[in-house]
Structure 1
């Protein structure tokens, strides 16, 4: 068994707190008419600062599994058990407190999580699945920065389009689509930074 890496556990704990912060401040941001401008500003800053939490989780997994080690069956079992447990809790909540169709939620369980907030288990499973195929090489800090700028800004399909003289120059289309690409990229980045 691998020894515990304390700083990873601490970083994971901080990322968990950030996720809680995102969920607790969202109401203030989406209901600006019901809160004071100061409370909205504070909630917005806390929510925005906490948005690094999801990439942190993928970077932690990449650090752990995109090197010499890869995800093992016990890691998949842990994800599956967590997904089942929280899906049961979510189904109980849905059936007791919402008008969401429980039968439809169960029917679509392989397409999307029972409760939206469980999407992470599906995404992290992909990181675990590709972990035997990816071993990140050592790269210089300059190369890493250049790749991050190209993939994270210049070629990011979520970058706000920029035009000069009617010609769109940003983002450059490198056929990067879907969030999964970025989740894997965060994992690779987590390993490369190490």
Structure 2
């Protein structure tokens, strides 16, 4: 059995925590008119810094899966598992939204759009997994010259798609292999970082500076545009934005190369990271239930962002972990996770 890479586990642990921070901080960012500029700035900084989490999830999948030998049977089981999870949580959130949140939800549209917004991740991941064996075969047959050309092409396409979207335009045809979003690019980026981890001439201070600089641009530009518009401007925080792409890739590279890619933790910490990693997918799926309950009774202007964002993020993570840990001890784990 291949030894677990704890650089990846560190990225996983931080990323699922950051996802919760995004959802809490973004609630305050979107409440721009109800909070002070100081609170908005605090929420925006946390929101922007945490945005690396979603790119990291896709890059982790690419790093772990694209280099594997293609296995159609294994991939069919993987697809079935994620589709089953998507249907199960769509039903859960349907009843939650209709009977508790009193929202109008169309369960019939579940094949085309998520019942709850954060389930978009599964909608993005399933098509990638659908073609994963063919991506694996392609990657196995590519030499460095084609790797370089492919990643350059991906970068050009992602930037072009984002810029065109700012003008409310889109290509007549999507580029094959990539689609109309940046997620497949992140998937391949993770694989190439893993493949060339010992050949890329990066230094930790340089990569950390790139991450910090790109994230700072996101924050400053978003704040300037938001202050000018008098409302939160979210386009610069989208996952296809070049600043988010740079920040996400730099953050992944930075942590992936800690201790030469062979980071070691004490046995007790490894045990907790294994537990958290095993629950991370479930935490992602369930935490919105508790966040929506909070949103139903508390508006952004009711409590200070300085207090709520850190406390609620930690609280949501803890209660979600306890729920998922308990559910993993029951037969429901086969359906829910």
TM bucket normalised to smaller = 0.7 to 0.9
Partners of 1:73 and 1:106 in 2: CA distance: 25
C-alpha distance in structure 2 between counterparts of 1:130 and 1:161, whole Å? 26
| TM-score w.r.t. length of structure 1 | 0.76
5 Å-filtered alignment, 1:29-178, equals 29-70=29-70, 72-102=75-105, 105-135=106-136, 136=139, 137=142, 139=144, 146-147=152-153, 149-153=155-159, 156-159=160-163, 176=174
Identify the residue that residue 190 of structure 1 maps to in structure 2: 190
| CA drift at 1:29 | 0.9
The runs of 5 or more residues in structure 1 that have no matched partner are: 163-170
Closer, same or farther: CA 152–139 of 1 in aligned 2, 3 Å: farther
Larger relative helix fraction? 2
Structure 2 unpaired stretches of 5+: 195-337
Deviation at 1:88, TM superposition (A): 2.5
Q: What CA distance in whole angstroms lies between the structure 2 residues aligned with 1:180 and 1:126?
A: 12
Larger RCO: 1 or 2 (CA < 8 Å, sep 6+): 2
Is contact 2:21-2:47 (8 Å) kept? Answer: yes
Superposed CA RMSD in Å reads 3.2
Indicate the larger mover: 33-42 or 132-141.
Answer: 132-141
Aligned-partner SS, 2:161: coil
Q: 1:122 to 1:3 in 2, by over 3 A?
A: farther
Shift of 1:39: 1.6
What's the CA shift for 1:32? Answer: 2.0
- Give the Cα–Cα distance (whole angstroms) in 2 for the partners of residues 10 and 133 of structure 1: 29
Q: CA deviation at 1:143?
A: 6.0
Distance, in Å, in 1 between the alignment partners of 2:58 and 2:165 is: 27
Q: Deviations over 1:32-65 (max 9, x none)?
A: 2322222211110111112222221111111122
| Paired residues, number | 183
- State the TM-score, normalized to the length of structure 2: 0.47
C-alpha separation in 2, matches of 1:109 and 1:138: 40
CA distance change for structure 1 residues 179 and 51 in 2, over 3 Å: closer, same or farther?
farther
C-alpha change, 1:179 and 1:25, in structure 2 (3 Å) is farther
